[in-house]
Structure 1
Amino acid sequence: MKEIQQFFTRHLIAAPISFGSWLYFVLGAGMNIVAASGLLIAIYLGGTFTFKQIQLSSNLKKIGMSRSEYKHIRGQISEAKAKIRQLNGLYGQVRSVQAFRQLHEMNSLSKRILGIVRSNPKKFYHVEKFFYAHLDSAVELTSKYALLVNQPLKDKDLRIALQNTRETLGDVNEQLEQDLRSVLASDIEKLQMEIDFVDVTMNKNKPLLEMKGDIHNDPK
């Protein structure tokens, strides 16, 4: 949401500046319309780029992160999005209800984790294993399962391999759930602290409120 707001902000700032410059070039300086239009485009693109860099610097300063860190995390997010698309493409290839349910749960958990990290890049460090290992395992195992389940041969060894893969996918699913808990842990802790603070504040004021009530209720 913040990225969308900043996108419109920089374009709303750059547009009138560019158009105003174009009017000056054409009406004030008597420049050729084609040349002025070229400058308008250059100013517009340069302005939006400059404002974007200013916004990025401001955001990184607020969260205490360097540009190199941010670039690395954005790269990991892009790779994770591609892997989740791979998971999405496997829905039509799994045959059993159990495998379909596992795939759906892994997909949902992965999207939720990714969404949280996108909105708060520092959360990446709480779930590095998700990006480096767990999501890869989900994609690789699901792909192998889809390959095996679509083979015409259905002997004992294949059935055992499929069962083992389903069980391992269950383990991966549990690990993704743990990743989600890890990425939410600090938010839950912060929320609990705020709740405790409100409780303490309310309890401090409660005797005073009760005393005032008692005074108003005393017969004169």
Structure 2
Amino acid sequence: MKNNFSHFLASLIAVPVGLIFWVLSSNIFDIHLFLDVLVGIGGFGASYLPTQQIFHKKHLDKYKLTNSEYKYIKEQLNQADEQIKRLRSSYMNIRTIKDAKMIYEINRIIKTIISSVEEEPRKFYRGQQFFHSNLESAVNTIEKYLYLYKMPGKSKQERMQLHETRLSLLELKRTLQSNLSHMNASSYDDLDVERELIKRNADRSKKRQALLTNKLDKEKINLKKDQAKEYVYRGDKNGE
């Protein structure tokens, strides 16, 4: 999803072009130094922008996305990154090992979902519930839960509410795992297709090997028969 590579390639082409424009302007056209710099910058821009657009278009074609879809998904990923930063900042309020384990697992699932969309942006459409509601709900609940958990002098009812909240977080963790599984469903389907192709190719290879073995065995048998006939023929000839 990160399109830094197209910017890098465009810069790789535009920088030499800008330098060439600057050298030509300063040595051939012999105009003012400030104007030489402007010409160099203009040459850089004139080569960078179309080159970057070409590589960006290839990037979009690779993921089968329109430019508006790309911008929207990128915006959602940026918002998700902000949510992760909020989640990390709440780590200092963790007070128990079991809470640390639970939040670590939730964070791991969240990061995996985001990484999956960064690698294959079209998976975003299979995980919209995560980006539109589940992620923010998880971060908000964890923040409030950890903040209230560290408060001293809690009543029995407050401790019960915190316990119920923790159970809700465990349920939310299962929901996030379900989001991840749903997003990866197509990848598992592709894996099944590849596995079936491997199995078929292996079966074909075995059949070809079996046919070749049978052919060789028949040739060996025929060769032995020919040798036996030749031996008998020679024996009869010597007997004469």
TM-score when scaled to structure 2? 0.84
Deviates more, 1:172-181 or 1:34-43: 34-43
Amino acid in structure 2 at the alignment position of 1:121: P
* Higher Cα Rg, which structure: 2
Which runs of 5 or more structure 2 residues have no equivalent in the other structure?
224-240
The percent of aligned pairs where both chains have the same amino acid is 26
Please state if 1:100 is matched with 2:100. Answer: yes
Q: Is the 8 A contact 1:25 1:36 kept in 2?
A: yes
Separation of aligned partners in 2, 1:57 and 1:129: 28
Separation of aligned partners in 1, 2:2 and 2:146: 38
Separation of aligned partners in 2, 1:88 and 1:204: 53
Deviates more, 1:64-73 or 1:44-53: 44-53
Q: Which residue of structure 1 lines up, in the alignment, with residue 199 of structure 2?
A: 199
Q: Is the 8 A contact 2:14 2:48 kept in 1?
A: yes
Q: Output one character per residue of 1:123-161: Cα deviation in whole Å (capped at 9) or x when no partner.
A: 100100000011011101101111211212222012111
Separation of aligned partners in 2, 1:37 and 1:176: 54
Q: Is the 8 A contact 1:145 1:165 kept in 2?
A: yes
Q: Which residue of structure 2 lines up, in the alignment, with residue 128 of structure 1?
A: 128
TM-fit CA distance, 1:41: 2.7
TM-fit CA distance, 1:16: 1.1
TM-fit CA distance, 1:175: 1.0
What is the CA RMSD across the aligned residues, in angstroms? 1.9
TM-fit CA distance, 1:199: 1.0
Separation of aligned partners in 1, 2:12 and 2:68: 28
Amino acid in structure 2 at the alignment position of 1:97: I
TM-fit CA distance, 1:167: 0.6
Q: Is the 8 A contact 1:90 1:143 kept in 2?
A: yes
Q: Is the 8 A contact 2:3 2:56 kept in 1?
A: no
TM-score when scaled to structure 1? 0.92
TM-fit CA distance, 1:19: 0.9
Q: Which residue of structure 1 lines up, in the alignment, with residue 67 of structure 2?
A: 67
Deviates more, 1:94-103 or 1:52-61: 52-61
Q: Is the 8 A contact 2:9 2:52 kept in 1?
A: no
TM-fit CA distance, 1:45: 4.2
Separation of aligned partners in 2, 1:176 and 1:23: 57
Separation of aligned partners in 1, 2:113 and 2:47: 34
Q: Output one character per residue of 1:20-56: Cα deviation in whole Å (capped at 9) or x when no partner.
A: 1111111121122332123323432453333222222
Count of residue correspondences: 220
Amino acid in structure 2 at the alignment position of 1:70: Y
Q: Which residue of structure 1 lines up, in the alignment, with residue 7 of structure 2?
A: 7
Amino acid in structure 2 at the alignment position of 1:155: S
Deviates more, 1:163-172 or 1:23-32: 23-32
Separation of aligned partners in 2, 1:100 and 1:42: 54
Separation of aligned partners in 1, 2:124 and 2:158: 38
Return closer, same or farther for 1:14/1:117 CA change in 2, 3 Å cut-off. same
Deviates more, 1:197-206 or 1:71-80: 197-206
Q: Which residue of structure 2 lines up, in the alignment, with residue 28 of structure 1?
A: 28
TM-fit CA distance, 1:80: 0.5
Separation of aligned partners in 2, 1:43 and 1:120: 35
Q: Which residue of structure 1 lines up, in the alignment, with residue 77 of structure 2?
A: 77
Which runs of 5 or more structure 1 residues have no equivalent in the other structure?
none
Separation of aligned partners in 2, 1:85 and 1:51: 34
